[in-house]
Amino acid sequence: MLHVPKSFIVLMAFAVAACGAVSKLPEIDQAVAEEEAQKQREMAIEENEYNTSRAHRIGFKIFIANAELCQKTKFSMGARLAYWREQDDEFIDALKNVYGLKAHAKFIQVPQDSPAWKSGLRKGDEVVAIDGENVPSDGKKVFRWTTKKLSELTKAEKSYTITINRDSAEKIINAAPEKVCDFPIVVNKKDEVNAYADGERILLSVGMMRFTRNDNELALILGHELAHNTMLHVQKGSGNRMAGAVVGALIGALLGVNLTQAGADLGGAVNSQDFEAEADYVGLYYAARAGFDVSDVAKLWRRMAANHPAAIHLAGSTHPSTAKRFVAIEKTWEEIKSKKKTSH
């Protein structure tokens, strides 16, 4: 028998008496609740897919357009693949439903103009063979085999073939990966409006994604964080000036003007306010070079100020004032516009 102390029983009785609901609540059918839970799991996957694919679509465009300005690059096709793993839990059925997953891994995102897109891959294509080798028929091995094979071939920096199944017909695709900046974007589910770079990756909150009103504004944020990484703001130190000079020279070369001096000045940034200003400046170039319309994106800082009035300050703090950032980004846009004109 289980020995229960008397005091505990009294306490329990008290708790029940105190907390018992007095209203007559609706009866919940277990099967109906489970059906609703399944619906909600699917919604969670769809929400996650919306944010992940948006960050990827915009980020990849910036990463491929600025590959020559990144000191850390890799080869990539730019497409995203889905399958379920054996260890996945109660979300497996929802995953299969949302993505329509069957026996093979499936491309769930093929951004327009990405290497995958140019090679003829499309969203929904299933991978049945790679370089003539069939995907294993054992379901447990599908995902690991497919992703491993694709990443090995992509890393080797040469073309390969992917046999896909589209609308029950097989098609052979010649995949030709291209060089992109290698700073993966990690989207986290936090509501706070935040993004940062850690030297290796770009970390982006869902709150920040929601705060942006359009893709151009998110491109400003991603360009800014990419600049922190390429300008070695995390590592800082003596390498900084050199990195600035390199980036300045390259931006200049690609716009047909000499920016080496500006780049060297930028690279000499030593404190966090300077780093922020520098990331705003270089990041705007990154976004513009990727084809985003940055003519209006400075407004993001006005909305930021409206939501966080303390950031309007004109002196002190580790972050530059939202007022100064707005003015600086507008000026940078004017500079980009005039350079585009003279380089044509």
Q: From 195, 191, 193, 177, select the one nearest 283 (Cα to Cα).
A: 195
The nearer residue to Zn ion, 125 or 276, going by C-beta atoms, is 276
Q: Are 82 and 95 in contact (CB under 8 A)?
A: yes
Q: What is the DSSP string of 265-332?
A: HHHT--SHHHHHHHHHHHHHHHHHHTT---TTTTHHHHHHHHH-GGGG-SS-SSS--HHHHHHHHHHH
Q: How far is the CB of 189 from Zn ion (least distance, A)?
A: 21
The nearer residue to Zn ion, 279 or 287, going by C-beta atoms, is 279
User: Could you tell me the sign of the dihedral formed by the alpha carbons of 144, 146, 151, 152, in that order?
Assistant: positive
The nearer residue to Zn ion, 223 or 263, going by C-beta atoms, is 223
Strand pairing category for 73-76 and 178-181: antiparallel
Kind and range of the H or E element at 53?
A: helix 30-65
Q: How far is the CB of 195 from Zn ion (least distance, A)?
A: 8
User: Could you tell me the sign of the dihedral formed by the alpha carbons of 235, 239, 241, 246, in that order?
Assistant: negative
- Single out the segment in contact with Zn ion by CB under 5 A; choices: 126-134, 269-277, 290-298, 309-317: 269-277
The nearer residue to Zn ion, 108 or 226, going by C-beta atoms, is 226
Kind and range of the H or E element at 74?
A: strand 73-76
- Single out the segment in contact with Zn ion by CB under 5 A; choices: 53-61, 117-125, 215-223, 278-286: 278-286
The nearer residue to Zn ion, 129 or 220, going by C-beta atoms, is 220
Q: How far is the CB of 279 from Zn ion (least distance, A)?
A: 5
The nearer residue to Zn ion, 126 or 278, going by C-beta atoms, is 278
Q: How far is the CB of 263 from Zn ion (least distance, A)?
A: 18
The nearer residue to Zn ion, 265 or 274, going by C-beta atoms, is 274
Q: How far is the CB of 75 from Zn ion (least distance, A)?
A: 28
- Single out the segment in contact with Zn ion by CB under 5 A; choices: 88-96, 162-170, 206-214, 268-276: 268-276
- Single out the segment in contact with Zn ion by CB under 5 A; choices: 39-47, 53-61, 241-249, 279-287: 279-287
- Single out the segment in contact with Zn ion by CB under 5 A; choices: 29-37, 65-73, 211-219, 272-280: 272-280
Rounded Cα gap, residues 125 and 16, in angstroms: 56
Q: How far is the CB of 88 from Zn ion (least distance, A)?
A: 35
Q: How far is the CB of 306 from Zn ion (least distance, A)?
A: 20
Chain-centroid distance, C-alpha 258: 32
Burial of 344 per CB tally in 10 Å (0-12, 13-18, 19+): exposed
For Zn ion, the binding residues (CB under 5 A) are 276, 279
